[in-house]
Amino acid sequence: MSDQSFNPFHAAQQQFDHAASLLDLDKATRELLRNPMREYHFSIPVKMDDGHVQVFRGFRVQHNDARGPIKGGIRFHPQETINAVRAMAMWLTWKTAVADLPLGGGKGGVVCDPHHLSLGEQERLCRGWVRQIFRDIGPDIDIPAPDLMTNSQHMLWMLDEYEVMSGGHFPGSFTGKPVGMGGSLGRTEATGYGIIITIREALKELQLSPEKTTASLQGFGNVSRYAIELYEQLGGVVTCVSSWSQPHKKSFSFRKANGIQLDELLTITDSFGGIHADKARDLGYEVLDGEAWLEQEVDILIPAAMENQITGKNVGLIKPSVKILAEGANGPTTPEAAIQIGQRNIFTIPDFLANAGGVTCSYFEQVQSAMNYYWEKEEVLSKLDVKMTSAYIAVSDFAQQNNLSLREAAYVISVDRVARACHDRGWV
């Protein structure tokens, strides 16, 4: 479980500082890039179904827009903090840069638990969020998207509120919208598929066949499900997945030695990705502790839930069999744990490379919205494969040429691209 005293923004700054040292960045550029350019804190009053008004805390952080408009998701979570939002905004800057997208990085959040909100309350919260930040978002400024516990319906409510306030149609103001309402085919699959595309390329590099590998994943939301789907299409077997079980108010790991059944688990999963533990047991799954996903005898580990999940305290649980760690979530590995993982020569695909499929397809959606012309699903996924593969190969080649880890290489490439944009604009 997450350590509540852990500050993800300090971890993000620590990672940046290392890259800045490798690049020998000047002082002004370091100071500009290690902090957000802008951030917004606001209160969102929402009239609840019983008539009383509840005030929610909301955030939007715009880390850097030197390479283009801000891009980044909005999270609904009861433990959301401004430092987590700051960290993810910074990671989004590096993510868009490493994928070579003409965008900057940002993130938004609301401190709430949507499990305990009706659809009407969620809609009013979404519209309230837009009203607070309306002047500082838009297709040429900042384009939000769904993230943890937000979905296409939330984005459509937000888009509608934005268009009501602006008096026109601006479908490129938000991405992750429903297909048929300005959304892109393939967007749902994009993050999970992107993770597996990078794993596929890593397996080639390590001279391993996908069909001879096994994997364990943390999380059973949208990202994890589609990662499992594509990984199984490549011939791999997922033996364990972890998830929050809402009836029990805790997380569990669900294991089947011969492979979990994705379609079967989806029948006992709620809309937020929570698997019902008792029903899983009835289907023949071993129901284990929430951290058990980390200590499986598998070849590949994919943390695809939240930040700060692999720490100095639990990194020792990782078995010697593990060859690849693919960071599907943002910031799932603390710097302390990353050092130990590096010492064990576990091949790590860093988060902002591994999970860049989501923002890449969000960019595709933005382009399609601007053109008012939408591509077929096969075209979207084909373009995604090309982008993710080329990004991986560029990072891998740079790492080998400069004797760096994949994480260091990804950071150096992305930070250098953003720093150059800041210099070229004359900011520093």
Q: Which two tokens stand for residue 240?
A: 């364990």
Confidence class of residue 84 from pLDDT cuts 50, 70 and 90?
A: very high
Answer for the pair 299, 214: CB distance below 8 angstroms, yes or no. Answer: yes
Confidence class of residue 232 from pLDDT cuts 50, 70 and 90?
A: very high
Helix runs in 146-210, H state only:
152-166, 187-205
* Edge-to-edge strand ranges of the sheet holding 286-289: 286-289, 250-255, 237-245, 214-218, 300-303, 324-326, 347-349
Active site residue 279: no
pLDDT above 70 for 23: yes
3-state secondary structure of 256: coil
DSSP-derived pairing of the beta strands 70-77 and 104-111: parallel
pLDDT in tens, 243-291: 987 777 789 999 999 999 999 999 999 877 889 999 999 999 999 999 9
pLDDT in tens, 127-153: 999 999 999 999 999 999 998 889 999
Those residues whose C-beta lies under 8 Å from the C-beta of residue 238, and which sit 6 or more positions away, are: 214, 215, 216, 217, 228, 231, 232, 259, 260, 262
DSSP 403: T
| 349-382 core/surface letters (b: 16 or more CB in 10 A; e: else) | bbbbbbbbbbbbbbbbbbebbeeeebbeeeebbe
Helix runs in 234-270, H state only:
262-266
The residues with which 269 forms a beta bridge, in sequence order, are 275
Strands (E), 308-416: 324-326, 347-349
Those residues whose C-beta lies under 8 Å from the C-beta of residue 257, and which sit 6 or more positions away, are: 239
pLDDT in tens, 151-209: 999 999 999 999 999 999 999 999 999 999 999 999 989 999 999 999 999 999 999 99
Report all structural domains of the chain as residue ranges with CATH numbers, in order of start. Answer: 37-95+103-183 (3.40.50.10860), 188-354 (3.40.50.720)
- Per-residue pLDDT at 4: 57
Answer for the pair 217, 293: CB distance below 8 angstroms, yes or no. Answer: yes
pLDDT in tens, 50-76: 999 999 999 999 999 999 999 999 999
As a whole number of angstroms, the distance between CA 257 and CA 284 comes to 11
Angle between helices 406-424 and 377-401 (to 10 degrees): 100
Q: State pTM to two decimals.
A: 0.91
3-state secondary structure of 425: coil
* Amino acid letter for position 62: Q
Q: Which two tokens stand for residue 45?
A: 């009053």
- Per-residue pLDDT at 307: 83
pLDDT above 60 for 2: no
DSSP per residue over 199-214, as a string?
HHHHHHHTT--GGG-E
Which residue among the candidates 71, 107, 177, 256 is catalytic per the annotation? Answer: 107
Answer for the pair 134, 62: CB distance below 8 angstroms, yes or no. Answer: no
Q: Which two tokens stand for residue 385?
A: 């494969």
- Mean pLDDT along residues 216-231: 95
The residue behind tokens 């789907």 is 229
Considering the chain, what is the average pLDDT of its residues?
95
CB neighbours (10 Å) of residue 96? Answer: 31
Helix runs in 304-354, H state only:
335-343, 351-354
